[in-house]
Structure 1
Amino acid sequence: MRGEHDRVRQNKSIILLSVGHACVDVYQGAVAALVPFFVAERAYTYAAVSGIVLAASLLSSVAQPVFGALTDRWAMPWLLPVSTVLGGIGVAASGLGGSYPLVLVFVTISGLGVAAYHPESARIARIASRGSHTAMGWFSLGGNLGFAAAPVVVAAVVATGGLRLTPLLVLPALVGSVLCLPVLRALNTAAPRNTGTAAARGSDDRASFAKLALAVVCRSIVFTGLSAFLSLYAQQRTAGGTTAGTAALFVLYLGGAVGTVLGGRLAQRWGRVTVMRWSYLLTAAAVAGVVFLPGPVFFVFAALTSAGLYVPFSLQVTLGQDYLPTRVGTASGITLGLTVSIGGLVSPILGGIADATSLQTALAPLIVMPVVSWLAARTLPEPAAPAALGEPARA
């Protein structure tokens, strides 16, 4: 009876964490979704808007491993509601001031909130999922749905009244912070039973983790580059205006939601590393289609690119945690944060190339990145997933 009760509680926690994850990742997607509106209302150049994407990513790239290391030493579940609100406030304030430096400050604040959220939420999700790839896939799905919803939410708010209405974008943060509270109460209730030796431990495989990190970095360069410029590129390739741009971003993010769930199921049959390798090869071909094929087929290849990028997404997180079992928070901070955010550092380079030549020329090098990820993953071992997970009580 107690076992059934525990399973129900864990499933509820995963669902709430997934929805909260969606509310937070709206703000990662919202920065890219705001790019066309900054271009239209304030005449920002490609380089300028890529700087906004960089500002949202730069602090996050440094902060997530720091927060991950902190959560390895001390449990900080209170970070979930606090960081969710911080992420929302930054995006909500980004459209208020006409000053470009102020915009950079606000999106940086949002990036800090997202950075604080991910390592601790991944640690808690790992406990609730008991190491299940499928359950972690559902947790990651929430983030992907948040990405997918971002262009729709931003368009619904900003397209009707301009950037002055961005304060309304704080609403998902308020919802997400409230949804965190039942999970925190459940953790406090379960703490006495988790005390002792429940945590799964092992030796760290730093070499494999480094190869995984390289693969994720290259994947993040593709995703961040497309997130920053796909909406503008879709307008050029399909002649569909801002509607086509919003639709392209929606396809990119929604395909990620499908890919994440599919990845967990495929990994149960063929293993995480094998699924990752094939996904990277699919992504290389799909990105080539996005870059070079015009018309409606553009959206088909955008969807394939999204699936290829996101099939390995949750698998990379659990692989990182299994390669560094004594530093789960750090592994989560790097795979969910540092490596993902490094892609933002490349965006200004792509923007500069686009200003000097064309968007097609700037996006073409992204085709090579998934091939590098495939090469990095070729020699990765498949670690044994822990049979059960818990957490010892920490001060």
Structure 2
Amino acid sequence: MTNSKVAQMGNPVYPMMVAIGIAHLINDSMQSVVPAMYPLLERDMGLTFTQLGIITLVLNVLASVLQPVVGFISDKKPMPYALPLGMASSFIGIALIAFSTQYWMIIVSVCFLGLGSAVFHPEGSRVSFMAAGNKRGLAQSIYQVGGNSGQALAPLISAFILVPFGQTGAAYVLVLTAIGIVLLTKISAWYKRELEKEKLAKVKRTLISSLPPLTKRQIGIALTLLMVIIFARSFYVTSMTSFYVFYIVEQYGVALQTGQLIIFMFMACGVIGTFFGGPLSDRIGRKNVILLSVVVPIPLCILLPFAPLWAAMVLLIIIGTLIMISFSVTVVYAQELVPTKIGTMAGLTVGFAFGMGGIGGVVIGVLIDTYGLDTTMIVLALLTILMLVAVFLPKDNAQTR
């Protein structure tokens, strides 16, 4: 490979790293409105847990299926202005869901949200990569912290907007969405200028992998192991963010708003873990951080359903922090496995996480309707044991970063 084709990592563009992280926060805040509405939809529309799970399925699977497609296309032909267009689709989805009076209308609205998410994530990840310079882990952490912070707002949206104002309170989120469209338009302009600079200089940014040379078979096995980790993590996190509030209210007898605040605590800890995961992986290696995120939380997840409220809150803090510490790292690890397919790998890993969260929503809803909350929470806690396949991932070299 000639020098003109070799990537120059350059210096990090911190303002753009932060800007795309804020945009990710806004995007995922809109997605978080859906699970935040579940208690209202169950109460006011009489939806079953299975029906709530189907809503999650439609939202997440649509985003899951389309994200790798968008990533594959953008790897061949980047689409800077797809970013504000994707958020415009989400704007329509929020506007519809705020005034939906029937189940089918909610399904249509989440289709617009899923489409917007599918367009945003691969291109947003590419902007993060372009702004990262030699701080790949940090950049991906800032980007994913934005998204996880948006998701963490779900219980707050429920407690302070939807519970007081009802379903139509979701319309307040449209103000945030409009700000996101403006911000993404500015980010897209920078993105386009960077692409033009690359074209003129005949230099294309490529990722320098810290992994040893691997055969196609080894890469395939490693990607499969990553998918297993993401599958188990997504099922568990979905159970916590979408359904655990019902368990808290039933098991401990607390008010719904209090339960939502406990869920927020769990998700806020996940944001903290996500932020530190990327920079930590730059220092000690991607695999080591992934191992940390699975080995420590698993016994705590299994213990959680049997803990009293005070102990459960302590466990939620530790689990939330550690289980999400690898969220951004799994994306970067996948990109380093296939460094020529930045968008595709981002779309595949994040899209798969969305898809498994959606499928998990239906499966968990059916399990709760069939076997009850107690049994379902125990089963899902045991499912986290699957994450131990992380032991077999190829080891990367932190010293190359």
Instruction: Give the alignment's TM-score, normalised by structure 1.
Output: 0.90
User: Separation in 2 of the partners of 1:151 and 1:367?
Assistant: 21
Deviation string 1:162-218 (CA, Å, 9 cap, x unpaired) is 113322222222111211222222223333432323322688633322221221122
Shift of 1:141: 0.9
Q: What does residue 173 of structure 2 align with? A: 169
> In the superposition, relative to structure 1, how do residues 167 and 386 fare at CA in structure 2: closer, same or farther (>3 Å)?
farther
Q: What does residue 86 of structure 1 align with? A: 89
Contact 2:266/2:317 (<8 A) preserved: yes
| Contiguous gaps of at least 5 residues in structure 1 | 1-5, 389-395
User: Separation in 1 of the partners of 2:353 and 2:309?
Assistant: 33
> In the superposition, relative to structure 1, how do residues 238 and 157 fare at CA in structure 2: closer, same or farther (>3 Å)?
same
Is 1:109 matched with 2:112? yes
Q: What does residue 148 of structure 1 align with? A: 152
Q: What does residue 6 of structure 2 align with? A: none
> In the superposition, relative to structure 1, how do residues 171 and 249 fare at CA in structure 2: closer, same or farther (>3 Å)?
farther
Shift of 1:265: 3.2
* Number of residues of Structure 1 aligned to a counterpart in Structure 2: 381
Q: What does residue 198 of structure 1 align with? A: 204
Q: What does residue 7 of structure 2 align with? A: none
> In the superposition, relative to structure 1, how do residues 231 and 85 fare at CA in structure 2: closer, same or farther (>3 Å)?
farther
Judge which range, 254-263 or 345-354, deviates more. 345-354
Q: What does residue 235 of structure 2 align with? A: 221
User: Separation in 1 of the partners of 2:400 and 2:302?
Assistant: 40
Is 1:62 matched with 2:74? no
Q: What does residue 162 of structure 2 align with? A: 158
Shift of 1:46: 1.5
> In the superposition, relative to structure 1, how do residues 82 and 131 fare at CA in structure 2: closer, same or farther (>3 Å)?
farther
Q: 1:251 aligns with which of 258, 265, 270?
A: 265
SS in 1 for 2:37: helix
User: Separation in 2 of the partners of 1:53 and 1:131?
Assistant: 37
Q: What does residue 289 of structure 1 align with? A: 303
Shift of 1:387: 7.6
> In the superposition, relative to structure 1, how do residues 161 and 292 fare at CA in structure 2: closer, same or farther (>3 Å)?
same
User: Separation in 2 of the partners of 1:57 and 1:207?
Assistant: 25
> In the superposition, relative to structure 1, how do residues 385 and 106 fare at CA in structure 2: closer, same or farther (>3 Å)?
farther
Q: What does residue 391 of structure 1 align with? A: none
User: Separation in 2 of the partners of 1:385 and 1:192?
Assistant: 32
SS in 2 for 1:381: coil
User: Separation in 1 of the partners of 2:103 and 2:82?
Assistant: 29
> In the superposition, relative to structure 1, how do residues 264 and 146 fare at CA in structure 2: closer, same or farther (>3 Å)?
same
Shift of 1:346: 2.3
Q: 1:27 aligns with which of 20, 27, 30?
A: 30
User: Separation in 2 of the partners of 1:253 and 1:339?
Assistant: 16
Judge which range, 147-156 or 203-212, deviates more. 203-212
Question: Cα RMSD (Å) of the superposition?
Answer: 2.2
Q: Which amino acid aligns with 2:177?
A: A
User: Separation in 2 of the partners of 1:216 and 1:131?
Assistant: 26
> In the superposition, relative to structure 1, how do residues 192 and 90 fare at CA in structure 2: closer, same or farther (>3 Å)?
closer
| Contiguous gaps of at least 5 residues in structure 2 | 1-9
Q: What does residue 3 of structure 2 align with? A: none
Q: Give the fraction of aligned pairs with identical amino acids, expressed as a percent.
A: 24
Judge which range, 57-66 or 348-357, deviates more. 348-357
